[in-house]
Amino acid sequence: MQMLIGELAEYVGTSPRSLRHYEQQGLLSPERGANGYRVYDETDVIRAVNVKELFDAGLTSADVRQYLVAGCLDQPLMAAPRCSAELETVRQRLASVDELIGRLERTRERLVERSRGLEDELDVG
């Protein structure tokens, strides 16, 4: 199976620009045809699907690169044996998300308090 960038973008559910970004980040490395067009083989297709899935899950380029270095991107993520890098990467990202949620909850509490104070001052119901 071989695809050009537009075909792969449609298949993956992303844009050609995103695929070029994946390439710039070193996450994809398609061959070039005689005409200079990117030609994606079956491994590139699987890798592109995996990269998008990981980005959609909130992982960063650096996180996804850890998957690549560990050899975890060249088989469908759900079908592949688990990689040791995967668990640590997901745990780190989850800790970051939990920290962000905590900060957002504290910010929300302060805004609610401020809103109530303003309502009392302005005697608004």
Measured between alpha carbons, how far is 60 from 13 in angstroms, rounded to an integer?
A: 18
Domains within the chain, CATH numbers bracketed: 5-122 (1.10.1660.10)
pTM of the full predicted structure? 0.73
Measured between alpha carbons, how far is 50 from 47 in angstroms, rounded to an integer?
A: 5
Q: Count the neighbouring beta carbons within 10 Å of the beta carbon of residue 55.
A: 18
Measured between alpha carbons, how far is 39 from 125 in angstroms, rounded to an integer?
A: 63
Q: Which residues of the chain have pLDDT under 70?
A: 79-82, 84-85, 124-125
State residue 80's pLDDT score.
61
